Amino acid sequence: MTGIDQRTPIESLVQWEFLSDPESIASIRPPSRPTVWLAPLPISRDETVDAEPQAIGFNASEWQRAARYRVAAARHQFIRARSFLRQGLAAILGCDPDQVPFEQAPQQKPRLGEPFRSAGWDFNLSHTSGWVMLGVTATGRIGVDCERIRNAAFDALLERFFAAEEWAEWQSATATENREQLFYQAWTRKEAVVKALSRSVQEFAQFAIPLCPPRSNHWVRSWESIPHPPTVHLDSQCVQDQLFASVAWLPNDDTAEESSSTV
């Protein structure tokens, strides 16, 4: 495994936008640089009390996906998050939410269909209990992940899924650092990377990132099976001590098909 090119932290190359409510996503403008929008989502507690949320712009496939959620709270979250996605992309692309075209090849993340795909837009969505996150870029690829902060079997998860050098760094760092924040920063960053590259959690051990303080920006070049690995810009936010959100952005000049197909 190649080493990490860790440079001095710089100002984030990704713009973060925090919305007070998910409906505000319908008023955003096309971003001039990679941008992440983060908003709170209502949490449905009781399906006998909470009405089914409005599904905005859904197609038949999305309705089928929503119907697979037997638990009302999970179904409501999916509907709200997917509506957030359609409204946000519609505002950026200048069309109605139901006119946003999606494509998804086998083993690949969803992408925009024509005529918007050839314009270079890439997006990624993440949602967890009470939060939704949308990342969009007109250059390169983007992946995002957000997770609620809660106690878990951190040691077991890192030893199982992470690279050997990350596991060693975790063991030496967690005596003095906030274990929860360190874990969720590392996990969401790696999740964002594999989502940007249309890969899976099972490939976490193929690359390594530093366990660093929040808001540091790193150029990561540590891949096991990519001969000329892409540059990945990482950034993270801890929100109200209850959520960790991360974004991975790969600029255009580092997104060759050779790199994306060899992981």
Q: Where are the domains of the chain?
A: 15-139, 145-261
What b-and-e string marks burial along 122-142, b requiring 16 or more CB atoms within 10 Å of the CB?
bbbbbbbeebbbbbbbbbbbb
Q: How confident is the model at residue 88 (pLDDT cuts 50, 70, 90)?
A: very high
Which pTM value belongs to this model? 0.86
Per-residue pLDDT tens over the stretch 36-56: 999 999 876 665 556 789 999
Q: How high is the pLDDT of residue 50? A: 61
Residue 247 near residue 153, CB atoms below 8 Å: no
Report the pLDDT value the prediction gives residue 178, as an integer from 0 to 100: 79
Q: pLDDT of 181-237, one tens digit each?
A: 889 999 999 999 999 988 888 888 888 887 765 555 555 545 666 666 677 888 999
Q: Give the CATH number of domain 145-261; options: 3.40.30.10, 3.40.50.1370, 3.30.565.10, 3.90.470.20.
A: 3.90.470.20
> What letters, b where the CB count within 10 A reaches 16 and e where it falls short, cover 150-172?
eeeebeeebeebbbebbbebbee
Structure tokens, 185: 């920063």
CATH topology agreement for domains 15-139 and 145-261: yes
> In the CATH hierarchy, which fold is given to the domain comprising 15-139?
Ribosomal Protein L22; Chain A (3.90.470)
* pLDDT band with cut points at 50, 70 and 90 for residue 259: very low
| Closest alpha carbon to 10 in 209, 186, 212, 216 | 216
